[in-house]
Structure 1
Amino acid sequence: MAPGVGEAEGAGRRGVPSLLAGGGTGQEEHIASDVTQLIGWTPLIELKRVAGKEGVGARIVGKMEAYQPLCSVKDRSALRMIEDAEEKGLISPGVTTLVEPTSGNLGLGLVLIALSKGYRFVAVMPGQYSLDKQILLRYMGAELFITGLIYLLTVTTEEAMVNARRLAMEEGLLVGISSGANLAACLKVAAREENKGKMIVTMFPSGGERYMNSDLFAAVREECIAMTF
């Protein structure tokens, strides 16, 4: 596929396609030198079933950021933040400790880069967030500190979860809650008469497996627990 809008051209930011593009000699090794070279280009997919059921006149397309190394769009921002700070001389491996208050995905992106570059990384995470993410952060070697509960970002999550489940059952896309929120917004924009025939592109920031212990999977989780054989 073509690069997403704004993709950097430098090596290490072009993802898997840069490893597959050879110089024509047939002798290149298509092997990443480190995991950061896998961060970048992710596929686009058109949501034909959802758009068809909604009867909208616009095309709806999602960018699948679950194809990043740690399955989230936050891999991109983590890499760029660290590289930017390094270029400015603000941080250096083996000297600087990176600290991030996170709900999970950005912390996972940062621990990925920290491991690759040799930084100590500390994640600070509210206790009500996904246990799966806490486990992954510790598994990847992050130092993890759990804070007290906080209550948020005036909008209900119910519509987001409904649409995340739609993406799974209607399009076969296993994505997270924020992806459902993005789809909900897209459907509202696509329904406008002035957008008939246009293409609306959104981002699906993360994969659904990371939300197994959240309310997104609550109903089916209870159903499976209640099963007897």
Structure 2
Amino acid sequence: AGIKDGKIVKDTVIVEPTSGNTGIGLAMVCAAKGLKLILTMPESMSLERRQLLSALGATIDLTPAVLGMKGAIDRASELNKEMQNSFMPQQFNNPANPQMHRETTALEILKDTDGKVDILVAAVGTGGSLTGIGEVLKEHNPDIVIIAVEPSSSPVLGGGKPGSHKIQGIGAGFIPTVLNTELFSEVIEVNDEDAFETSRNLAKNEGLLVGISAGANVWAASQIAARPENKGKTIVTILCDTGERYLSTSLYS
């Protein structure tokens, strides 16, 4: 969107906070476009994410883990203000974020389910996937139930206080601007160990090597599926990234 709007030219430096996955996507695009990229990221994010970003040519500015995602956002904002030729996509505020999910992910889900989705369960990082997918599915089926997922130790969507957790990629500690909070009717809280254990079980029992937030999504979806009133219903959730990005962590140790 920044390139289309003329905000990004060949000498522009892209600056963005990331927990890893958006940064990896940006690094791929910036490498292909010949653009310099500076990413701010909490130091608690996995080693593999840092290695991938470095391999793709991005400059990484690590922020204190105790400051969480907000620390990375604040640092990116500082860098953006210091440089005259920089551009910050701002994934937590950028309407292009959910729009991509409206145009791609949501349509893929409708195609794969023949348009029959009763419940959507989605963990919230930026809120882009829940918003983009949820809005399209809601248009297709006004009766769909949409459920948000967040870390139990940082339950801001449910009105609680932000806190530290180990589910990388979700639970930023604030309610993102792009998140349409009117879409979901319930919030499921997941603790670290349930998310970790579900990811491990998916690898061992299903052959799916997935990340921690995917485990959180599947754990929450399983709780919803176990309710008697949901018997026979089609429940969709997202496996957000690959477990190969977490081999250095305690996830698969």
Correspondence 1:35-74 to 2 at 5 A: none
Find the residue that maps to 1:215 and give its secondary structure. coil
Structure 1 position 109 matched with structure 2 position 28:
no
**Deviation per CA, 1:105-137, whole angstroms, max 9, x where unpaired?**
111110001111221111111112111111111
Partner Cα separation in structure 1 for residue 44 and residue 222 of structure 2: 30
Structure 1, unaligned runs of 5 or more? 1-83, 219-229
Match of 1:197 among 229, 232, 246: 232
Question: What residue is the counterpart of 1:137 in the other structure?
Answer: 53
Task: Report whether the alignment pairs 1:146 with 2:78.
Answer: no
Q: TM-score, with normalisation over the residues of structure 2?
A: 0.50
1:172 corresponds to 2:88: no
**Partner Cα separation in structure 1 for residue 232 and residue 44 of structure 2:** 42
Q: Aligned letter for 2:230?
A: N
- Aligned CA RMSD, in angstroms, stands at 1.5
* Distance in 1 separating the partners of 2:14 and 2:193: 34
Using the size of structure 1 for normalisation, the TM-score is: 0.55
Question: If you compute each CA radius of gyration, which structure gives the higher value, 1 or 2?
Answer: 1
- Runs (5+) with no aligned partner, structure 2: 69-163, 165-170, 174-189
Distance 1:86 1:194 in 2: 48
Aligned equivalent of 1:162: 197
Look up the equivalent residue of 1:206 and give its one-letter code. D
Q: Which amino acid aligns with 1:95?
A: D
Structure 1 residue 125 corresponds to structure 2 residue 41? yes
Per the alignment, in what secondary structure is the counterpart of residue 98 of structure 1? strand
Determine the C-alpha separation between the residues in 2 that align with 1:190 and 1:117. 44
Counterpart for residue 8 of structure 2: 91
Q: CA deviation at 1:198?
A: 1.2
Query: Which residue type is aligned with residue 194 of structure 2?
Result: E
Structure 1 CA distance for aligned equivalents of residues 26 and 60 of structure 2: 13
> Using CA pairs below 8 Å that are at least 6 residues apart, which structure has the higher relative contact order?
1
Looking at structure 2, the residues matched to 118 and 140 of structure 1 have their Cα atoms a distance apart, in angstroms, of 11
State the 1:194 CA deviation: 2.0
Q: Tell me the equivalent position of 2:241.
A: 206
Structure 1 segments (4+ residues) deviating >6 Å: none
* Counterpart-to-counterpart distance in 2, 1:165 and 1:158: 10
- Aligned residue pair count: 134
Identity %: 43
Structure 1 distance, partners of 2:226, 2:5, is 45
